[in-house]
Amino acid sequence: MKLIALEEAFAIPEFLARESLPKETLSEDRWMKEWNRQLLDFTQERLPIMDTHGIDIQVLSLTVPGIQAITDPAQAVEDARHANDYLADVIDRHPDRFRGFAAVALQDPDAAAKELQRAVTELGFCGALVNDHTGGHYYDEPQFDVFWSALEDLDVPLYLHPGAPPADLWHVTSGRPELIGPLWTWGAETGAHALRLILGGVFDRHPRAKLILGHMGEFLPFQLARLDSRYLRQRDRLLRRTPSAYFGDNIHITVSGVWSHPALIGALEAIGADAVMFAIDYPYEFTSEAVDFLTKAPLTHEQLAKISHSNAERLLHLKH
């Protein structure tokens, strides 16, 4: 079985020294130390782990908080370019094993569109990944249309990943810091961002744009009926379609970090097997658990082939 993993993180030493992994989460120090080591490595641990568990390709992306943590637009543009050149060099040394999602500085949407163009056409990247909002700005805002147009023109997806510094205080988490981060708030915040994109008309203005959500769709596939029901009872319905109709067309998901067969079957029923792809979330999740989850899933041969590799090959234009 061919396996292509789409949400696989790396770090650059000088970036990690300047902006370490998000401090607001309650991850144990021993895991933080292990992740920091593994994020910087490509050959000593990463490739052997891939070989042991049958991972053919990792699509690499700059780890959280990435470019979204930078407040100075000029610095963000410079760092995005550096990150992409760094990753391109890694891929050039292992062209059969790694591909890349570009880092982009949406602090400057025009520059982000230009860097995406360079990363795809010159460096051979297969899309972009951003860590949720940029400085409290969400990508349904009109200044980002230039970036969505670039994604359409290049026919590559945007992976919307959690992990930006918080834009504001979510009072429900007060006194319960364990809710903050990957346990709960990251998924809820990123899912809400995706809903902003839908309800803000991004996919009506850019009907060929493609978005990827990790973690089994950040809760959304399981709420589509509710979203449609409530939307159809609102005033000023401006969308061309119901919210659910954008899933499986504009919006695709990966299974990263949600090793639940009931959740997988529910997502398949909700949005279809053509819109679900494999991912691990390395190094934050164990590759062994991810592969075991997929190989034991109650899927047909056709569904398994789509999720394990063929959907990714089609959406990301990966050569066989």
Domains of the chain, by residue range, sit at 4-316
Note the pLDDT of residue 168: 86
- How far CA 180 is from CA of 37, 260, 286, in Å, comes to 23, 22, 21
Domain 4-316 has CATH 3.20.20.140: yes
Cis peptide before 283 (omega within 30 of 0): yes
At a CB cut-off of 8 Å and minimum separation 6, what does 179 contact? 172, 173, 185
Note the pLDDT of residue 165: 85
Note the pLDDT of residue 320: 55
Residue type, 256: S
How many Cβ atoms sit within 10 Å of the Cβ of residue 152? 15
How many Cβ atoms sit within 10 Å of the Cβ of residue 320? 6
Residues annotated catalytic, as ranges: 281
Residue type, 197: L
Sign of the dihedral defined by the CA atoms of residues 119, 125, 127, 131, in that order = negative
User: With 0-12 CB in 10 A as exposed, 13-18 as middle and 19+ as buried, what is 126?
Assistant: buried
pLDDT beneath 70: ranges in the chain: 19-27, 320
Note the pLDDT of residue 35: 87
Note the pLDDT of residue 20: 58
Note the pLDDT of residue 169: 84
Residues 209 and 149: their CA atoms lie apart, in Å, by 8
